[in-house]
Homo-oligomer: A and B are copies of this chain.
Amino acid sequence: MKDVAASAGVSLGTVSNVLNKPAAVSAATRERVERAMAELGFVRNESARQLRAGTSRTLAYVMLDGGNPFFHDVARGIESGAEDADLSLFICNSDGRAAREAKHLDRLVQQRVQGILITPVDPSASHLREIGRRGIPLVMVDRLGGTGDCCSVAVDDVLGGRIAIEHLTDRGHERVAFVGGPESIGQVRERLLGARQVWSELGRDAADLIHLPTEALTVAEGRGAGERLAGLPARRRPTAVFCANDLLALGLLQQATAIGMRVPEDLAIVGYDDIEFAAAAAVPLTSVRQPREELGRTAARLVLAEAGDPAHRHEQACFVPELVARASTAAVRHPARKR
């Protein structure tokens, strides 16, 4: 800026004004300064701005699993929210590991980011609370901040479980499996809970809604669940499966195909999240859609609201999931119900 000022024959302060309040500079001077900036190839130094301002022009999202497109879609929503406020978005991936998460968080605090959005490994971890104490707004994404000591955005997973099962029973299925785990994940618990609620409300036998636990929400685990499913004796084998997420569902579909089970004729499948690859599967998957991008946009809105207002009250936004029916649960002429 000093060079620009010299080259334009004005003072440093004037250059600053051109940048920050152009209205306060005469058109002639302004143009002279702008020409000088262009000639010298001047680019604002963001770290200096930040140092002065005390905070960066950046938001950060720490996602739980970079291998799951769901989180990238959420990130896209956040980015669109950030853009509206002319902020950049820093994306990190904890990969489900608390240590990585902590390291990322540490860096972000050092960068003095304006706010942090996070889908945490453990929503009750102490390092999250630490962030709040530092005065950095934090919003939990896709996790209900039950304790209310921070903002959160989430989707009603109990309801999601309910509509999945309702759809399957509507389609005439009488023996259903829930595939998903570990139960340490809140989402898994709630989706299962919703499923069981509906099941019992319909007066079904609890034994006809079996739970096939998995160790993670991945394609590989979905395949494994498919194997176990196929190993069940025919009379106990479910005619439909509700998977805790789409990756599981894709793995399951693959395994089913491999062993010659037809979907949906021999086995109907419902996934969760409605990622693009669910719709793109060989047999398009029915899935419980979460408003991924809106989740992100809302999270961005909340974090900015908190950043802008010291007397901010924490808010818990909860969205409603929606069933998207596709071929994997299409009605079959002869429902797979052998008496």
Contacts and interface: CB of A to CB of B under 8 A. Distances in A.
A41 B110 contact: no
Q: Main SS of the interface on chain A?
A: helix
Given A72-B66, A76-B66, A250 B280 contact: yes
A48 B134 CA distance: 18
A259 to B, nearest CB: 12
Interface string A36-73: 00000101111110110000100000000011010010
A111 B282 contact: no
A125 B306 CA distance: 40
Contacts of A41: 133-134
A91 B66 CA distance: 12
A72 to B, nearest CB: 6
Given A72-B72, A276-B67, A276-B219, A111 B254 contact: no
Contacts of A280: 219, 250-251, 254
A53 to B, nearest CB: 9
A44 B281 CA distance: 48
A69 B56 CA distance: 29
Contacts of A253: 282
16 contacts: A43-B134, A44-B110, A46-B107, A46-B111, A47-B51, A48-B51, A51-B51, A76-B93, A79-B93, A219-B280, A250-B280, A251-B280, A257-B283, A258-B327, A281-B282, A282-B283
A213 to B, nearest CB: 20
Contacts of A56: 47
A170 B72 CA distance: 39
A109 interface: yes
A115 interface: no
Interface in A113-146: 133-134
A96 to B, nearest CB: 14
